[in-house]
Structure 1
Amino acid sequence: MQPLRRAFTLIELLVVIAIIGVLVALLLPAVQSAREAARRMQCVNNLKQVGLAMHGYHDVHNVLPPGARQCCYGTWYQFVLPHMEQGALYQSFNMNSGALGLSYSHANNHTFMAIRLTVFTCPSDIPNSPTITAGVPMANHNYAANYGNTVYGQHLFQGVEFQGATFGNIQPDTARPLLGCIGFAQIVDGLSNTLLVSEIVQGQGNDLRGRIAGYADGGAFTAWNTPNARLPDIMPAGTCNPAPGNALNPPCSTQNATSTTNNPRYLASRSRHPGGVNSLLGDGSVRFNKNSVALQVWRSLSSTKGGEIFEYN
């Protein structure tokens, strides 16, 4: 006679299933946290490579690269490419014919603008290639140049004096003054206390925030607002698409610039990392700046000659 084999009762089976469900619920946040930690580390490594390219450019030219050439004729992005083993890509962008060359949206630059480089893309964000001229997709990216403590016009704004920036325009137009290129010796606040580059999120849909290749307003940030501020970015009309048009985009409103002393537009540094943004400093180090950083400290980090005294933790 064979011994009886005892099977699970229905209640015991349900208990086992419930325990497994609880364990899975406990493990999922840990898995997600580990994945985000890995993505954030990749973002840090990307910024360190950008920092090496910035220093490589400085070693050759004794200045940092230009922030931009007017609105649409090349930015710092193009100028660092030869120092990231992307010399052929740099040569493919048409910026040298005529007084200014061809804008980034010209048909001759469509191939260049469609290329996404992972070194300029934070894996925590959502890669996007909005379509503009002739329906050609043009990739947005995640790292923006520091245009100082006020606004893109780099002037007195709402009573706050502009205190210098690491990047600016080298060919002025009606909305952007001439700042030119500066060298490390001109960063009198110290390289370890001055921002070079910080994160921005890629605009989704037909939103040009993150259009760092070619478009001045899409490839720069200012420290007027703290990281991931709930206050809106200020952009030219037709260049941003905030909620409810696209719920994934940060807040944004639009305003025109009327002169080099009245350009009130700016982007805040933003990321999809919980709690803050990664930022590249002048000494090549990368720091995680929390959303809770004091506004005055954040603005002090963005200036080159403010002479501020602060503790940066």
Structure 2
Amino acid sequence: MLTRSSATSRSGSRNGLSLIEVLVVLGILGLLMALLLPAVQAGRAAARRTQCRSNLHQLMVAFNVYQSAHQLYPGGIEMYTTQILPLLEQQPGADRSPVLACPSDPLEPDGSIDRSRFSYPMNDGLGSYSYPGIRNGGPRVSDRDVTDGTSNTAAFSEKLALPTFAGQLIDWDDHTDIWNRVQRRIHGAPATLEEYFDLCDTQAGRPLATWLLWTEYNHIMTPNNNNCTLVPSPDNRGLNFYEAVASSSAHSGGVHVAFADGAVRFISDSVDRKVWWAIGTRSNGEIEANEIFQ
């Protein structure tokens, strides 16, 4: 009399999977992972971008609370430490805050202001006192000085942080992947802002020997473009262009900009340079800024 097990064995059936079946299952699982991974990465990137936007919103709340109380915008070297961070419930005198660090930056800024390890500098206009922004090297600015309109004038934007070895002499050939974070040399005697832009856009050379620590940015160059400094020469003495410190981010396609009215908008890297210049100044009478909001 045959038992069930012997009958099963004689009939050729088996317990388990063949090698081909295992490979098919693994292939299907691999395909599913390949389909899901980009979606997961995109979801994480979207979450980081949302957090970055939220950080700028919080910064602008503090900015406008200070403006309402003092009838002046925050300003000066102590702007973050004594004027803005206390309104974000940070300890008085603190020189860093997680609110000032964009989570999308792969260098993971810690919000430290004095070492440019923070993500949200103030708008310094077009690099000349003739084209002022919200930050001003002279008297402090208020709403009445923003004659172009607070909804058309940038107050803060993003800037990729400097690494932890900022300030050290380094071999630039070991760090070519982050040349976009530092100032690069340009040579010439540009007579106009357009000429300066073209030099920086197309002829930026090697970076300077050391890092430069900025607590502001300007609108000379469009977002995620080069940072540049004009190498002094007899031909360009007397030119009143500052260094170009571009807004930059690790977000795909552009940067967040916080306007003086408190609104935060995402602006494309491909924005027309005249529009970018227009929102960088507070009192030049431009009207082109409206084009980016349509």
Q: 2:22 — aligned with what?
A: 13
Residue-by-residue CA offset, 1:47-102 (whole Å, 9 max, x unaligned):
00110111011111101011x3xxxxx2421221232223x423xxxxxxxxxxxx
- 2:255 match: secondary structure: strand
Partner Cα separation in structure 2 for residue 77 and residue 38 of structure 1: 26
SS in 1 for 2:121: strand
8 Å CA contact 1:62, 1:183 repeated in 2 = yes
- State the alpha-carbon separation in 2 of the partners of residues 255 and 31 from structure 1: 49
Cα separation, 2, equivalents of 1:139 and 1:198: 14
Identity of aligned residues (%): 33
TM-score for both structures, normalised by structure 2: 0.72
Q: Quick one: distance in 1 between partners of 2:232 and 2:86? A: 35
- Residues 67 and 142, structure 2, Cα contact 8 Å, conserved in 1: yes
Q: Is the 8 A contact 1:255 1:264 kept in 2?
A: no
Alignment of 1:78-97 (within 5 A): 78=81, 79-86=83-90, 88-90=91-93
Report whether the alignment pairs 1:189 with 2:148: yes
Q: Secondary structure at the match of 1:89?
A: coil
Within 5 Å, which residues of 2 pair with 1:202-213? 202-207=161-166
Amino acid of the structure 1 residue aligned with 2:227:
P
Aligned equivalents of 2:101, 2:273: Cα separation in 1 = 26
Q: CA RMSD in A?
A: 2.9
Which of 144, 150, 171 is equivalent to 2:121?
144
Distance 1:191-1:38 versus aligned 2 partners, 3 A rule:
same
- 2:49 is matched by which residue type in structure 1? R
Q: Which runs of 5+ in 1 are unaligned?
A: 69-73, 91-111, 132-136, 156-161, 170-177, 211-215, 235-252
Could you report, residue by residue, the CA deviation over 1:218-262 in whole angstroms, capped at 9, with x for unpaired residues?
A: 111111111101x3343xxxxxxxxxxxxxxxxxx8779x99964
Q: 2:271 aligns with which of 273, 288, 293?
A: 293
User: Shift in Å at residue 141 of structure 1?
Assistant: 0.5
1:48 corresponding residue in structure 2: 57
2:254 corresponds to 1:276: yes
Alpha-carbon distance between aligned partners in 2 of 1:282 and 1:23, rounded to the nearest angstrom: 46
Map residues 1-313 of structure 1 onto 2, 5 A cutoff. Answer: 1-2=4-5, 3=8, 4-66=13-75, 68=76, 74-78=77-81, 79-86=83-90, 88-90=91-93, 112-113=94-95, 116-125=96-105, 126-128=107-109, 138=115, 140-148=117-125, 150-151=126-127, 154-155=128-129, 162-169=130-137, 178=138, 180-207=139-166, 218-229=214-225, 231-234=226-229, 262=240, 264-310=242-288, 311-313=291-293
**Deviation readout 1:120-169 (Å, 9 max, x if unpaired):** 0001112357x9xxxxx957110000000x22xx24xxxxxx33311112
Give ranges in structure 2 of 5+ residues lacking alignment.
168-180, 183-211
Q: State the distance in 2 between where 1:263 and 1:24 align.
A: 52
* TM-score normalised by the chain length of structure 1: 0.68
Encode CA deviations 1:238-296: one digit per residue, 9 max, x unaligned.
Answer: xxxxxxxxxxxxxxx8779x999645313100011111111101111110111111111
Asked if 1 retains the 8 angstrom alpha-carbon contact of 2:115 and 2:213, the reply is: no
Matched residue count = 235
Secondary structure, counterpart of 2:292 in structure 1: coil
In 1: Cα distance, 2:232 partner to 2:227 partner: 12
* CA distance in structure 1 between the aligned counterparts of 2:281 and 2:213, rounded to whole angstroms: 19
Letter of the aligned partner of 1:77 in structure 2?
A: Y
| Amino acid in structure 2 at the alignment position of 1:199 | E
| Contact 1:57 1:80 (C-alpha < 8 Å) held by counterparts | yes
Where in structure 1 do 4 or more consecutive aligned residues deviate above 6 Å? 253-256, 258-261
Q: Please say which structure displays the higher CA radius of gyration.
A: 2
Q: Which has the higher helix share?
A: 2
